[in-house]
Amino acid sequence: MSGKQMIRMEEVQLGGDEARGSVLMTVGKLLLWTDLIFLSFVYSGIKGGSYLYSYWTILQALVGLTLVAVGRAKRGPLTE
């Protein structure tokens, strides 16, 4: 079996903590990508005297990075 096919078969056969870890990583990555959208409002918010978008962006980035780290720890390596 080729290496790529073996990795894909292992991904499909995830169970328990591995599946939860993959979900946590996906949610964390989505938060980080949407954080880029909020990043466009940070400058205009600070210029207008509001720090809402700054705090929101920092909080969302921390939550996203935490979810990615926890998900990676739960999932573990796909190939051994």
CA pair distance 42, 35, nearest whole angstrom: 11
Residue count of the chain: 80
Question: What residues make up the domain containing 29?
Answer: 3-75
pLDDT at residue 10 is higher than 90: no
Q: Is residue 34 one of the residues assigned to a domain?
A: yes
Q: Is residue 33 one of the residues assigned to a domain?
A: yes
Quick: pLDDT tens for 21-76.
Answer: 889 999 999 999 999 988 888 999 999 999 999 999 999 999 999 999 999 998 87
CA pair distance 26, 49, nearest whole angstrom: 34
Q: Is residue 31 one of the residues assigned to a domain?
A: yes
Q: Is residue 18 one of the residues assigned to a domain?
A: yes
Compute the C-alpha angle 72/65/7, nearest 5°. Answer: 25
pLDDT at residue 4 is higher than 60: no
pTM: 0.71
Quote the number of domains for the chain: 1
Q: Is residue 80 one of the residues assigned to a domain?
A: no
Q: Is residue 7 one of the residues assigned to a domain?
A: yes
**pLDDT (0 to 100) of residue 58:** 95
**pLDDT (0 to 100) of residue 76:** 77
